[in-house]
Amino acid sequence: MVSDALTLLNRKRIVEFAAAARLPTIFEAAALVREGGLMSYGPKQSAIGERVADLVVRILRGARPADLPLELPTRFELYINLKTAKALGLTVPPLLLARADEVIE
């Protein structure tokens, strides 16, 4: 699921629905995994904030926004909720657990 304002606003309902329907979920934001989602994989939010701050500084120093390059995220984070995986009857492969930035138990 994408992490737009509507998803974040209704995150508790989404996670509860997915659990009741026994649906594995993957999100962009770690907050939804902490609330009971199965996993998330998305851009590292702090890195995005750093890039935004740099662009703001460049604009304040006189750069034209139209002249600034489009940038894509380069750092991503993987979060896994083992409690949710167990509730769904899923086994998370050890290699995936080893690659996770955070495993929530």
- Collapsing DSSP states into helix, strand and coil, what is residue 90? coil
Whether the predicted model's global pTM rises above the 0.85 cut: no
- Collapsing DSSP states into helix, strand and coil, what is residue 78? strand
Q: Per residue of the chain (105 residues), give pLDDT as tens.
A: 887 888 888 989 999 999 999 999 999 988 899 999 999 999 998 899 999 999 999 999 999 999 999 889 999 999 999 999 999 999 999 999 999 999 998
Residue 37 contacts residue 16 (beta carbons within 8 Å): no
Domain extent for 62: 5-104
CATH of the domain at 51: 3.40.50.2300
Which pLDDT score is estimated for 3? Answer: 78
Structure-block tokens of residue 70: 């489009």
Residue 76 contacts residue 40 (beta carbons within 8 Å): no
Rounded-to-integer distance, Cα 29 and Cα 77, Å: 9
Which pLDDT score is estimated for 7? Answer: 85
Q: What total number of domains does the chain contain?
A: 1
Which pLDDT score is estimated for 5? Answer: 87
